[in-house]
């Protein structure tokens, strides 16, 4: 399997370095040959080529089976024109690969329960859910949009628009993800108010006929936001449109309390998926061997799980090794607690490797 690796900026090199060690080790263990090739993205690409997304990077990503990314950005490039900032590289590669589905798990490891923002009795029921967000449609991209003068005052407007095929393909990703998990899918919309949501619900129900094994439910987005804090244990997979998904996926991840622990996947059609931690490049701790590599290591587990149906076992092995490492008391600074074994980025990688 060919993996294009893009460390990016800040802590990117450190966390991706540990994740690649884990990838190689799991390859040895399960007899899978992984070949990695490094590509430039973000600030590192600007420094080397003047562009945050060089053409060579796009070709290398397209030629790979999957893409693993660290993070991009940092103060060094903050004063550049927005059109050539590091973030442009990230948006550009998502677009070039046609990544329309964003998968964000929010999982609370037993060992990190103290970091969760919710009441202990709610936390005790556990959190292990996945938000599947549509990434390329809805109000963020719909036309017409703009600010113009009408009747002597300015009006601003966007258009939350979805076509049937856009809803159908993201619904499928939701159902397929549910099949890999506990087989429950909750579709979130606002069908009591929005026409676009009525179509959303209609198409989701249509797709559901192909997935009789999955238990489907529907929630209005306002209720979903409340249920996420009231009892997140009720959710397995949530599928929703772009704007609702943006908000709900951040809500779901912040309640776990540990930004350094959360992976993500972005999937398209006919192109490799992109796998990355949800956090940024953490310039404040870059180069100090302090970063938590677990979100990136867990992104490798997602890479295996969502790139090929045969790789559930190595993905499970990585997740189990992370769990064991936490239960042995190993912590990086961001998740430290009293009595823990404080380690750096490399030390955490070593511990996960040993457990693999």
- In the set 190, 211, 306, 330, the catalytic residue is 190
Residue span binding ligand NAD (CB under 6 A) among the ranges 68-76, 157-165, 215-223, 231-239: 68-76
Pairing of strands 146-150, 101-107: unpaired
| Nearest-angstrom CA–CA distance, 121 and 55 | 52
Give the pair of three-digit tokens for residue 46: 């600007």
- Annotated catalytic, 184? no
**Per CB under 6 A, does 351 bind ligand NAD?**
no
| Active-site hit among 78, 110, 195, 222 | 222
For ligand NAD, the closer CB: 240 or 253:
253
Phi-psi region of 349 (alpha: psi -120 to 50; beta: other; left: phi over 0): alpha
Q: Which is nearer to ligand NAD, 43 or 137 (CB)?
A: 43
At 116, give phi and psi (nearest 5°).
Answer: -70, 145
Kindly state the smallest distance separating residue 12's Cβ from ligand NAD, in Å.
8
| Minimum CB–partner distance for residue 167 and ligand NAD (Å) | 26
Which tokens belong to 103? 């998968």
**Interacting residues with ligand NAD between 275 and 294 (CB under 6 A):** 279-285, 291-292
Q: Which of 62, 95, 220, 250 is catalytic?
A: 250
Contacts of 20 (CB under 8 A, 6+ apart): 5, 36, 68
Stretch that binds ligand NAD, among 17-25, 70-78, 173-181, 250-258 (CB under 6 A): 70-78
Task: Give the number of other Cβ atoms within 10 Å of residue 149's Cβ.
Answer: 8
- Asked whether 147 and 156 are in contact (CB, 8 A), the reply is yes
Instruction: Tell how many helices (H) and how many strands (E) occur in the chain.
Output: 12, 14
Q: List the catalytic residue out of 2, 128, 140, 334.
A: 140
Taking the complex as a whole, the smallest distance from the CB of residue 139 to ligand NAD amounts, in Å, to 21
Which of 187/264 has CB closer to ligand NAD?
Answer: 264
**Hunting for tokens 């080397």 — which residue is that?**
48
Half-sphere exposure of 56 (CA within 13 A, CB side): 12
The residues that are catalytic are: 140, 190, 222, 246, 250
Residues in the site for ligand NAD, rule: CB under 6 A? 11, 15, 71-74, 87, 90, 259-260, 279-285, 291-292, 295, 332, 334
């Amino acid at each position: 399997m060919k993996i294009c690796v893009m460390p990016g900026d800040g802590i990117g090199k450190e966390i991706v370095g540990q994740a690649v060690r884990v990838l190689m080790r799991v390859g040895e263990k399960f007899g899978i040959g992984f070949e990695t090739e490094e590509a430039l993205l973000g600030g590192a690409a600007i420094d080397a080529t003047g562009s945050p997304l060089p053409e060579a990077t796009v070709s290398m990503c397209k030629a790979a089976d999957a893409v693993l990314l660290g993070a991009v950005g940092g103060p060094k490039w903050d004063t550049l024109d927005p059109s050539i900032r590091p973030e442009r590289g990230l948006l550009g590669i998502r677009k070039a690969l046609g990544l329309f589905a964003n998968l964000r798990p929010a999982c609370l490891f037993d060992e990190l329960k103290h970091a969760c923002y919710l009441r202990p009795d709610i936390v005790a029921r556990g959190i292990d859910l996945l938000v599947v967000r549509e990434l390329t449609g809805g109000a963020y991209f719909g036309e017409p949009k703009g600010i113009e003068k009408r009747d002597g005052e300015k009006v601003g407007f966007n258009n939350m628009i979805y076509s049937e095929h856009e809803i159908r393909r993201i619904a499928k990703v939701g159902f397929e993800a549910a099949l890999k998990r506990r087989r429950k899918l909750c579709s979130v919309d606002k069908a009591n108010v929005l026409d676009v949501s009525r179509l959303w619900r209609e198409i989701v129900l249509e797709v559901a006929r192909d997935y009789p094994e999955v238990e489907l439910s529907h929630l209005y987005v306002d209720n979903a936001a409340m249920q996420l804090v009231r009892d997140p244990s009720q959710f397995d997979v949530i599928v929703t449109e772009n704007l609702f998904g943006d908000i709900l996926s951040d809500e779901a991840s912040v309640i776990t309390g540990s930004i350094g622990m959360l992976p993500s996947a972005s999937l398209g059609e006919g192109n490799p998926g992109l796998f990355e931690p949800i956090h940024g490049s953490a310039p404040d701790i870059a180069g100090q061997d302090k970063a938590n590599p677990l979100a990136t290591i867990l992104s490798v587990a997602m890479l295996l799980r969502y790139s090929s149906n045969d790789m559930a076992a190595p993905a499970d092995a990585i997740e189990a090794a992370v769990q064991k490492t936490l239960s042995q008391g190993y912590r990086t600074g961001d998740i430290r607690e009293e009595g823990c074994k404080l380690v750096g980025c490399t030390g955490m990688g070593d511990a996960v490797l040993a457990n693999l």
